[in-house]
Amino acid sequence: MTEHLADHYRYIIEELGEDPDREGLRDTPKRAAKAMQFLNHGYHQSLEEIVNGAVFASDTDEMVLVKDIELYSMCEHHLLPFIGKCHIAYLPRGKVLGLSKFARIVDMYARRMQIQENLTRQIAEAVQQVTEARGVAVVIEARHLCMMMRGVEKQNSSMTSSVMLGAFREHQSTRQEFLTLVHGR
């Protein structure tokens, strides 16, 4: 697959008016192909594989929050990165998820071409599916290079998206506790 992608990158370089055989670009098509495969490796992962049985019995029923999980994803509209952080909270119902699995879930979905709104929902639904929690909340804050490098070229803009499931959607006080913990207000 790498060679096939590299051929396409070579063609793109030529179409942009560059010489893909000049010294600085000679290996670029292959490097770009490998980079694109890495940036989108989430397509080759599954939730079951990522979680790998790391769900544990627990009497904890208070909110569990994991903040500031860094993420890197690709905008499906322009194939440019968006970069940010993800905050995930859940209200356990008899079981908890291993801490590192939250970051792995974020990475699995972030390493696919998509929009931030869908990424937020995918993460929330995955945590809900794995934990069967009473509620799940996810907030993503990200900066989009498709808005910063092209189009309107606004350098200081960011986007925030949220998905609230279960008790976080149904109870204002639960949602507010989550948002206060995330933003420290």
Residues belonging to the active site? 75-78, 116, 144, 146
Asked if residues 123 and 164 have their Cβ atoms less than 8 Å apart, the reply is no
Token pair in block for residue 112: 């696919």
Tell me the residue type at 142. A
Q: Shortest CA distance to 93 belongs to which of 54, 63, 122, 70?
A: 63
Q: Shortest CA distance to 79 belongs to which of 115, 104, 29?
A: 115
Token pair in block for residue 9: 């990158």
143: helix, coil or strand? Answer: strand
What residues pair up with 84 in beta bridges, in sequence order?
Answer: 71, 142
Q: How far apart are CA 119 and CA 113, in angstroms?
A: 9
DSSP state of 177: H
